[in-house]
Structure 1
Amino acid sequence: MEQRLTIKLMDTHAGGDVSRIVLNGITPLPGASVRDQMHYLRDDADGLRNLLLFEPYGIPEMSVDLIVPATDPDAVAGYIIMEVMGYPIYSGSNTICTATAVLEAGIVPKQEGTQHFVLESPAGRVNIEAQVENGVVEAITCEGLPSYIDTHLATIHVPGLGNVTYSVAYSGGFYALVDATELGFQLTLDEERALAECAHKIVEAIQAERGFSHYTLGDVGPLPFLHFMGPVEQIADDFYRSRSTTYVHPGVICRSTTGTGTSARLALMHHEGKLKPGDRLETVSLRETGFIGKLTGVRQKGSHQVAENTITGKGYVLANSEIVINCDDPMVECSGLRHILQDDQPPR
């Protein structure tokens, strides 16, 4: 008799980036905070990420968000983010998708108009504003992490490319920011593969040359992200627009411009005197989707000017499903996974 192990999912996307929300099927994880639960998942149960991001169930371009109990008394739910590069402590697109999912799944009852609630990410509490019209979640605004510029206009020699000028921001992960035009890109969809190959070379070169340390978090690992910046167009006195593309190492060009990429861009534009608090920037992807970042304030933290910001986008539900996990299937790797699956289904 074979035990039937299942996981209930809601597949969503924001700006084209698919986030697979795990609603149930996973046992409670140990940890006094969502960050602690993330560390347990990363160190002792990475099989869930591998199962849902790779064949036969998924692809590396997706993300996975596991809903877990919040430890913050004000939060309605916690969530752990899983991507091909590992376990980022924050993501704007994943937060937009998770906020949409908790509303669509009834974890938070929908209210017409504007409603507010709190989620708990591995980075801490996140204030959410949802706009609901006729029962449809039309927009989610979430707090971006406080962002700052670590490095401004450095130069590195990249094999096959020559000297490349880049800046580095922290916005939930360390981002290299490069001028797309200087590298010969217009940021159109037909350039997607070339963008990935170019970004791979730059990130490899930066990782080989240096590391980065957050002013409170310390070492958060090698730089995993690169953001291609297109020219900036001013739409109104306080509103700007720019084509943009985010790369995740190794090998993934995001479908959306990403929330953390947009936050990094806000921090850089403020650092260069091109944005002031209250200004907004819409980043537009290769697929013509966009997020709107707003610079809400600036504060000094040691030697860094920290940009406080919000990200607004819309999440869409793609599917509600229940996947069946058969550990006898040679395509399915259950190591690092079986001990966190809820084994309460009747045999068949």
Structure 2
Amino acid sequence: MSELTFQLMDTHAGGDVSRIVTGGIDALPGATVREQMHYLRDDADGLRRLLLEEPYGIPEMSVDLIVPATDPTAAAGYIIMEVMGYPIYSGSNTICTATAVLEAGIVPKQEGTQRFVLESPAGLVNIEARVENGVVEAITCGGLPSYIDTYRAKIHVPDLGDVTYSVAYSGGFYALVDAAELGFSLNRAEERQLAECAHKIVEAIQAERGFSHYTLGDVGPLPFLHFMGPVEQVADDFYRSRSTTYVHPGVICRSTTGTGTSARLALMHYEGTIKPGDKLETVSLRETGFIGQFTAVREEGNGHVVENTITGKSYVLARSEIVVNCDDAMVDCSGLHHILTSAHPERT
């Protein structure tokens, strides 16, 4: 059989498209969603590559595979796939996946505020959904505990000179740089230059050093860079800042990203400029935004970790069935056949 199929719901949050795989994929081996992610990464990476490369997609998209939860308290599990690989958590992907499980009826949609739990590779995620007239108007999800690993270090970057950066962990390691120090005002016309600048900085940091999480250990080379604009205080407990997130290699996110917003909260706490209960709205090159709330701080590892939530809205773009013809020279089916239900209908 050369033609394979599976089902998608395309969504976006803040401009970042998340392709939610809702059906057609076999159950993956693994006692937890994290173990299932490892299987997908190591033995079935064809799904990620298929949906993020031509002719089906572009690297700027993300993919989320809905899987059965392994924890009985969770309504569903999900595995996140991006151009850099398999992050264990993502705010924008979580917002999109939470919207998709409501729209697909995996979690029955209710008017008003409803709460449920999803299981990510990072663990359980509390979701609060606000539904008005049948429309999912907002999703608030728990961000990962975030902390500052490195504060205002310097590195020499070819063509840029000495660059000052901090590093936060918020689901992945983020280099945080001041946009104005690098000559950027964070408008859409700068998108290509931002990507080129970030690429050079990330390459330099990766060549010089690695990073280790206090419980996860080595999680690979630093994949993210977050350009920070000036912080404006718009109320006693509310701040706003233009922001841009880069994913290595080569992608400027359409949104400010949830984990990027969590990283900013960690830095602002480290610098003593916010307190528990305060909110930060990050605003993208496309004038979209997420709102992060600093909810608590606790001692863990060798320092403070910041508890936080991320709020945003996801829109459904399309519901479709992908047809994969392995005879097509543009399509690489390697690493794909053994997880597609339609490749072996006798198992259905």
TM-score by structure 1 length?
0.98
Query: Corresponding residue for 1:114?
Result: 113
CA distance in 2, matches of 1:52, 1:130: 28
Q: Which runs of 4+ in 1 moved over 4 A?
A: none
Q: Would the aligned equivalents of 2:53 and 2:59 in 1 still touch at CA under 8 Å?
A: yes
Query: Corresponding residue for 1:263?
Result: 262
TM-aligned CA deviation for residue 4 of structure 1: 3.6
Aligned pairs (5 A) from 1:72-111: 72-111=71-110
Aligned pairs (5 A) from 1:159-308: 159-308=158-307
Query: Corresponding residue for 1:41?
Result: 40
SS in 1 for 2:295: strand
Q: Would the aligned equivalents of 1:28 and 1:68 in 2 still touch at CA under 8 Å?
A: yes
Aligned pairs (5 A) from 1:321-332: 321-332=320-331
TM-aligned CA deviation for residue 253 of structure 1: 0.1
Q: Which amino acid aligns with 1:89?
A: I
CA distance in 1, matches of 2:206, 2:33: 28
Gaps of 5+ in 1: none
CA displacement, residues 80-138 of structure 1 (integer Å, 9 cap, x when unaligned): 00000000000000000000000001110100000000000000000000000000000
SS in 2 for 1:318: strand
What is the identity percentage for the equivalent residue pairs of Structure 1 and Structure 2? Answer: 84
TM-aligned CA deviation for residue 170 of structure 1: 0.2
Q: Which amino acid aligns with 1:211?
A: G
Q: Would the aligned equivalents of 2:231 and 2:239 in 1 still touch at CA under 8 Å?
A: yes
TM-aligned CA deviation for residue 5 of structure 1: 1.5
Q: Would the aligned equivalents of 1:3 and 1:345 in 2 still touch at CA under 8 Å?
A: no
Q: Which amino acid aligns with 2:103?
A: E
Q: Would the aligned equivalents of 1:131 and 1:137 in 2 still touch at CA under 8 Å?
A: yes
CA distance in 1, matches of 2:137, 2:226: 27
Q: Would the aligned equivalents of 1:292 and 1:311 in 2 still touch at CA under 8 Å?
A: yes
Q: Would the aligned equivalents of 1:75 and 1:125 in 2 still touch at CA under 8 Å?
A: yes
Q: Which amino acid aligns with 2:303?
A: H
TM-aligned CA deviation for residue 304 of structure 1: 1.6
CA distance in 1, matches of 2:56, 2:224: 25
Q: Which amino acid aligns with 2:21?
A: V
SS in 2 for 1:282: strand
Query: Corresponding residue for 1:335?
Result: 334
Q: Would the aligned equivalents of 1:70 and 1:76 in 2 still touch at CA under 8 Å?
A: yes
Q: Would the aligned equivalents of 1:4 and 1:345 in 2 still touch at CA under 8 Å?
A: no
TM-aligned CA deviation for residue 71 of structure 1: 0.5
SS in 2 for 1:278: coil
CA displacement, residues 242-291 of structure 1 (integer Å, 9 cap, x when unaligned): 00000000000000000000000000000000111000000000000000
Q: Would the aligned equivalents of 2:16 and 2:61 in 1 still touch at CA under 8 Å?
A: yes
Number of aligned residue pairs: 345
Q: Which amino acid aligns with 1:77?
A: A
CA distance in 2, matches of 1:236, 1:149: 26
SS in 1 for 2:328: coil
TM-score by structure 2 length?
0.98
TM-aligned CA deviation for residue 3 of structure 1: 5.0
TM-aligned CA deviation for residue 302 of structure 1: 3.0
Q: Which amino acid aligns with 1:233?
A: E
Q: Would the aligned equivalents of 2:2 and 2:327 in 1 still touch at CA under 8 Å?
A: no
SS in 2 for 1:311: strand
CA displacement, residues 119-170 of structure 1 (integer Å, 9 cap, x when unaligned): 0000000000000000000000000000000000000000000000000000
CA distance in 1, matches of 2:69, 2:329: 36
Q: Which amino acid aligns with 1:209?
A: E
CA distance in 2, matches of 1:86, 1:68: 18
Q: Would the aligned equivalents of 2:2 and 2:326 in 1 still touch at CA under 8 Å?
A: no
Query: Corresponding residue for 2:68?
Result: 69
> Root-mean-square deviation (CA), in Å?
0.9
SS in 1 for 2:341: coil
SS in 2 for 1:229: strand
CA displacement, residues 45-79 of structure 1 (integer Å, 9 cap, x when unaligned): 00000000000000000000000010011000000
Query: Corresponding residue for 1:59?
Result: 58
Q: Would the aligned equivalents of 1:178 and 1:228 in 2 still touch at CA under 8 Å?
A: yes
Gaps of 5+ in 2: none
Query: Corresponding residue for 2:26?
Result: 27
SS in 2 for 1:42: helix
CA distance in 1, matches of 2:12, 2:106: 19
CA displacement, residues 153-202 of structure 1 (integer Å, 9 cap, x when unaligned): 00000000000000000000000000000000000000000000000000
